[in-house]
Structure 1
Amino acid sequence: MSADRSSGGGVSRRQLFGVLGAGAAGAVVGAAGGAGVALAATGGGTTDASGAAASVYPYFGAHQAGIVTPAQDRLHFAAFDVADALDREGLIGLLTEWTDAAARLSQGLEVAEGGAVGGSDYSPPTDTGEALGLPASGLTITFGFGPGLFTDESGADRFGLSARRPAMLEPLPRFQGDALVPEMSGGDLCIQACADDPQVAVHAIRNLSRIAFGRASLRWSQLGFGRTSSTSTTQATPRNLFGFKDGTANVKAEETAIVDDHVWVHASDEPAWLAGGSYLVARRIRMIIENWDRVQLGEQEMLVGRSKGEGAPLSGGTEFTEPDFDKTGATDAPLIDADAHVRLAHPTSNGGARMLRRGYNFVDGNDSLGRLDAGLFFLSFQRSPQQFIDVQTSLARDGLNEYLKHVGSAIFAVPGGVAEGEFVGQALFA
């Protein structure tokens, strides 16, 4: 099926104020590693003498950008609820317009021809303008489909898609430490915008939200800074807000066989329309910073299972030395505690399960008690949601849980890449 790709997507003043009134919450959340590009894994990228800010990644390809792409420094993530009045053709129209806009934005262009200042003086600009003069800054835009797109809470099949819903696309089970806030969870659609300039990422979400007026409203969003994982061997391992290196053992784009086995959905998997895509898990994890800051260094390292400086496993070696969980100390106790995070999260504790993580730090001001509202916005991509479920279940006895509270949760099916002339997720509607 097709839609009119030249549609202006106009919205009346009544629709505009109605959508603004329906919009939900937002949030706030810098340490960049290298700006290298794994060409074979990402489909390529370009830079110039100005470095990371000039990076341009192709939008079209076998997989959506923003998954194995070298993790950028900034994030704006948004989840949307589809309007009750939207029908199947309207949904296709929205995805078509989002695709056109994302393809332009990722190349450093304005969201549409005419842009912020080139249109009529008597019409709203087609671009909001805050990114005028800024380069692409490595912007990638990744789209995902939530369970509610296939059947709503009442079980209604609004768009004729229920028979094509992935069997594994179900809300995640309740885990240890969950204190989920509905307003920070779920969503019918999601957009992940990553860039090396926060204004570029925010500009992307703002304009894609604007395109959706009257058709989908913002349910919740999250700003992120200081990536908490590396997705390329060219990048140094960053630190989280507990001060520890994070994501040392993360899947890297250059590990193409591991990426293929653990990240991408295969054509032989069900459903076939999701081939080349992945499953995205988003978790907003509040860190109890004030309590953690009063913990002795030795106990902090015991809880994590790594040294705070080098990031080496407590069994010895350097950061990238494989942990030895059988090695004991002078008292014959394991050097890496039985409840240490690194042990419980390790593939050997989870049937070999691995995920590609793209998390970010966030700081959203303070709460009513004067404590920092800060933590980790966890994002992971995996071939099956069960990979995440297995690891998170294993972490039920993680000693770090005393200092963590999971307040937001969502899961999305991320379609495969987009070919020129198509819209994102087109195979779902075939």
Structure 2
Amino acid sequence: MHIRRPALMVFLVIMAMFGLATGASAEPQDKPAVSTSGQALRAAPEIADSLGGASADLGNQLRSSDSSCYGGLEQSGTAELTVHIVDRADCVSVKSRAARPSISAGTVSVKTAPAAYSLVALEAKRDLVTKNIASLQAGGAGLSNWGVDVKTNRLHIGVAELTQAVQQRISSLLGGLADVELTQDAGWTQTADRIVDVAPWYGGDRIVGPVGPCTSGFSVFEPSNGDRTFNTTAAHCGYGTFKQGGNGYGITYVGNYTEGGPTDAQLVTTYPASAAGRVYTTSNGSSPVKGWISSQVGGNKVCSDGSYTGEHCGGTINATDQCLYFMDSRKTICKLIVVYSPGFQPIPGDSGGPVYNHGGTTADTGPNIYARGLITGSYGGNQSLWAYTPVSAWRTLLGVEILGG
């Protein structure tokens, strides 16, 4: 049975009812007091993508004008995009247009690769699976993940046990398996602890909520509510009271975590004071948030920052817009981004932590932070795969702006 929560849960709670302390233990580093009284908060600007807008512009253009020939794109080098074009006579001109230097941004180069299926056709089959997930699961299909794999040009579907009956059931739904990569996969779990902080709160704090330790994500503010500041974390960390270092931290203000929904995120009040647009990258060192990346494609570099595992860079986006079924919560979340980090995964307690890049939006090192999303969960099979909820999936839905530092 799926556990459902309402899409928007607003908690209007008097702080004293929860006994939230106003004090905190010794400060981990010198932090300036932040006063927002009478001052407009600075929103971290949106950055189209990590290649100066090239992947967003090119992808949107091909989707709009040549959807039947466009198979998707991925970052294949530091300043290189690979566009997959359906290998068909009527798509030859599209291949030429895709590689035109005028479409590239700055020094970004574009090359093409042949594809058998268009991205829109594969996405239609993905959406068909999503629409029928309840009946598939009830019929014993045991799906663990599904989404388009641009690199292989297939709809990847992972199941708990790959039997002939499961193959037939999925084949019947999709009208065959020629464009499907059907595999037996281990399941996904949600990683549901930096240690003592004081306000103004930074992202990357270890916080303890209704279901145990988690990690705070990016600080945000709500323009429609007098620029009130909030912390973020994963919604599967539970709705209710949160503490940091044993002291008062905040309570859930609003969250979005529904079966088949696009997000696993919530806002937590910044009690007793405010939040700041910074993220801990070491136990007591932090970096300012300078922007957030809206368009993310395969091959982009990413860093994760859980309060247990700390900052870990070197991962790359493996797949985007994926639906994953989490065994521990018995819930499917879609629109997730899957990352491949050789030999590394976030662990329990890292959930909700920031996912980002450093200076230059693609770098593993540098003085600044460019937000990508919040840590969601890890794969039980390949110990190098994990997933996050992208900023673009929850920023507008929760009505907030990323707080710049």
> Do the two structures share a fold, i.e. TM-score over 0.5?
no
Task: For CA contacts below 8 A with separation 6 or more, give which structure has more relative contact order.
Answer: 1
User: TM-score, length-normalised on structure 1?
Assistant: 0.24
Which structure carries more strand by proportion?
2
Which structure carries more helix by proportion?
1
